[in-house]
Chain A
Amino acid sequence: MTSATTPISATTPILELRRLTRSYGSLTAVDQVDLSVVPGERHALIGPNGAGKSTLFATVAGTLRASAGRVVFSGQDVTDLPESERVRRGMVRTYQHASLFLDCSVLDNVALAVQRAHRVAYRFDRPARRFRATQAAARRHLDTVGLAGRQYDKAVALSHGERRQLEVAMVLAAGPELVMFDEPTAGMSAAETERFVALVQRLPQTLTILIVEHDLDVVFRLADRVTVLHLGRVLASGTPPRIRADEAVRRAYLGSAKTEDLFIDAGEPQ
Chain B
Amino acid sequence: MTAGQARSGTERHEAPGPASDTAPGGGDGGRRDLADRPVSHAPLLVAAGAAALLVAAPLVLGPYPVTTATRILAFAVLVLSVDLLTGVTGLPTLGQAAYFGVGAYTAALVGIHVTADAAAQVIAACVAGLIAAAVTGWIAVRARGIVFFMLTLAIGESVHQVADTWSALGASNGLSGMPPIRLFGSPPLLAAGFVYWWVLAVAIAVFAAVTLVARSPYGRTLRGIRDNEPRMRALGYRTAAARYGVFCLAGAVAGVGGALWAAQARFVSPGDLGFEVAALALLSVVIGGAGSLWGPCLGAALVLIVRDNLSASLGGHGPLLLGLVFIAVVFLMPRGVAGLVGARRHPRTRTEIPS
Tell me whether A and B are bound partners. Answer: yes
- From B217, B227, B235, B351, A174 is in contact (CB under 8 Å) with B235
- From B14, B221, B351, A157 is in contact (CB under 8 Å) with B351
Given that A112-B224, A124-B216, A128-B215 are contacting pairs, would A83 and B2 also be in contact in the complex, using a CB cutoff of 8 Å?
Answer: no
A49 at the interface (CB under 8 A from B): no
**Contact between A124 and B218, CB atoms less than 8 A apart:** yes
Nearest CB in chain B to that of A176: its residue:
B3
B313 at the interface (CB under 8 A from A): no
What separation, in Å, do the CA atoms of A177 and B6 have in the docked complex? Answer: 11
B311 at the interface (CB under 8 A from A): no
Report chain A residues within 8 Å CB of B350: 153, 157
**Contact between A131 and B217, CB atoms less than 8 A apart:** yes
**Contact between A101 and B236, CB atoms less than 8 A apart:** no
Report chain B residues within 8 Å CB of A187: 355
What separation, in Å, do the CA atoms of A95 and B235 have in the docked complex? Answer: 12
What separation, in Å, do the CA atoms of A123 and B232 have in the docked complex? Answer: 16
A107 at the interface (CB under 8 A from B): yes
- From B7, B36, B231, A105 is in contact (CB under 8 Å) with B36
Query: Using a CB-CB cutoff of 8 Å, which residues 27-45 of chain B contact chain A?
Result: 31, 34-37
Report chain B residues within 8 Å CB of A101: 223-224, 227-228, 231
Report chain B residues within 8 Å CB of A153: 349-350
A170 at the interface (CB under 8 A from B): yes
Report chain B residues within 8 Å CB of A126: 16-17, 19, 22, 212, 216
* Total A-B Cβ pairs within 8 A: 195
Q: Mark A99-132, 1 if CB is under 8 A from B, else 0.
A: 1111111011001110111111111111111111
What separation, in Å, do the CA atoms of A117 and B3 have in the docked complex? Answer: 8
Which of B17, B215, B227, B349 has the most A CB atoms < 10 Å from its CB?
A: B227
Q: How many residues of B contact A (CB 8 A)?
A: 54
Give the interface SS of chain B, mostly helix, strand, loop or mixed.
helix
**Contact between A152 and B231, CB atoms less than 8 A apart:** no
Report chain B residues within 8 Å CB of A122: 217-218, 221, 242, 245
A266 at the interface (CB under 8 A from B): no
Given that A112-B224, A128-B219 are contacting pairs, would A63 and B234 also be in contact in the complex, using a CB cutoff of 8 Å?
Answer: yes
Nearest CB in chain A to that of B236: its residue:
A87
**Contact between B7 and A128, CB atoms less than 8 A apart:** no
Q: Mark B5-33, 1 if CB is under 8 A from A, else 0.
A: 11111110110110101100000000100
**Contact between B220 and A129, CB atoms less than 8 A apart:** no
Nearest CB in chain B to that of A121: its residue:
B221
B230 at the interface (CB under 8 A from A): yes
Q: Which 4 A/B pairs are nearest by Cβ-Cβ distance?
A: A175-B4, A87-B236, A124-B216, A117-B4
In the complex, 25 of the A-B residue pairs with CB atoms within 8 angstroms, ordered by the A residue number, are A83-B234, A84-B238, A99-B228, A100-B228, A100-B231, A101-B228, A101-B231, A107-B36, A108-B224, A113-B235, A116-B236, A120-B217, A122-B245, A124-B217, A127-B216, A128-B215, A128-B217, A131-B11, A135-B36, A156-B351, A157-B350, A157-B352, A158-B354, A159-B354, A177-B3
Given contacts A129-B215, A159-B354, 13 further A-B contacts (CB under 8 A): A90-B3, A100-B228, A108-B220, A112-B232, A116-B237, A127-B35, A127-B216, A128-B215, A128-B217, A152-B37, A163-B354, A174-B235, A187-B355
